Chain A
Amino acid sequence: MLTIKCPWCGDRDLTEFAAGGEGHIARPLEPATQSDAEWGDYIYTRKNTKGIHYERWMHAQGCRRWFNAVRDTVSDEFLAFYKTGEPAPKVEGDGS
């Protein structure tokens, strides 16, 4: 059973969480000035990382807060959890 650590509630079962995909993607501040290509890139383009991945999660059946996690997409091992707004922690093996 995979355990995820909500920054507020602590260790909880995976089934309580919803995955939100790649993290640290900032919404363009002036959407109206974006070209279709730029907006499409914001909406759709993702890294599809093999290895260390910075991503968003939501504690859907607990406190319902979004937060960030670092996960190795090869081993499915979680390496760090941190609150939205906090800087991404550096983890060993991160080549990005």
Chain B
Amino acid sequence: MVDLTERVSALAAIYETGTFGATVDGGPSVAFSERRPLSIVHVAGKPDDKAFSDGVKTACGCDLPTTPGDIATSGDLSLVWLAPERWLAVCPNRGSGVLEAAFRDACGDSGAIIDVSHGRTVIRLSGANARTVLMKGAPLDFHKKVFTPGRAAQSAISQCGTLITCPAEDTFDVYVFRAFGQHMWEWLTDAAGEFGYSVETPAT
């Protein structure tokens, strides 16, 4: 009997660890990995509604970031500003529906909470040339002093809507709809070919 609730990565058919692309002095300067399994919850509500903002704080432990493009963190959870009145909560998998339920219980009717854990593919790039690879794809200001750790932006790479976050120095997470996951993986690894890149084991 096939367990239909088992989560299978959108990249499962093409994911291969190792070293690829050009042979460069000093070795590969971009490292790829898929971030999984994750709990990802889309959160919408009015930040000036106390029931909502208090509920979010109760559910995830941090205040709503209200500055466009900011990321708040609490332990292993990140709360990313997507748009006015919209955020994305991301953390290592807490079990089916657990993070969604935490938000729904705490926010009640004050927020619209949707579990999108199964609907996103998250690709992590790190290393000296990770920023350069993203510059090839998205029309954002990726200057080191502008796109800094704790910042995020929605944009497009190869015409696919993406959320790009910078969780740490020279480390970036690219979120796409699951159906675009394989295409985005192929686009990004192709763009990294000239620098040489490694593919690491998936991790959260």
Evaluate contact between B153 and A9: CB separation under 8 angstroms. yes
- Chain B binding surface SS class: strand
Evaluate contact between B139 and A12: CB separation under 8 angstroms. yes
Q: How many residues belonging to B are interface residues under a CB distance threshold of 8 Å? A: 14
Evaluate contact between B153 and A62: CB separation under 8 angstroms. yes
| A61 contacts across to B, CB distance below 8 A | 154-156, 161
Pick the contact of B83: A10, A16, A65 (CB < 8 A).
A65
Known A16-B139, A63-B82, A65-B83; contact A9-B68, beta-carbon cutoff 8 A = yes
B92 within 8 A of A: no
B84 within 8 A of A: yes
Evaluate contact between A63 and B154: CB separation under 8 angstroms. yes
Binary per-residue interface labels of chain B (152-189) against chain A in the complex, 1 for a CB within 8 Å, 0 otherwise: 01111000010000000000000000000000000000
| A16 contacts across to B, CB distance below 8 A | 139, 155-156
Binary per-residue interface labels of chain B (120-160) against chain A in the complex, 1 for a CB within 8 Å, 0 otherwise: 00000000000000000001110000000000011110000
Pick the contact of B140: A8, A12, A63, A65 (CB < 8 A).
A12
| B84 contacts across to A, CB distance below 8 A | 8, 63, 65
A90 within 8 A of B: no
| A8 contacts across to B, CB distance below 8 A | 68, 83-84
Determine how close the nearest CB of chain A comes to the CB of B159; give it in whole angstroms.
9
| Chain B residues near A (Cβ < 8 Å) | 68-69, 82-84, 86, 139-141, 153-156, 161
Q: A13-B140, A63-B84 are in contact. List 13 more A-B contacts (CB 8 A).
A: A1-B139, A8-B83, A9-B68, A9-B69, A9-B153, A10-B68, A11-B141, A12-B155, A61-B155, A61-B161, A62-B153, A62-B155, A63-B86
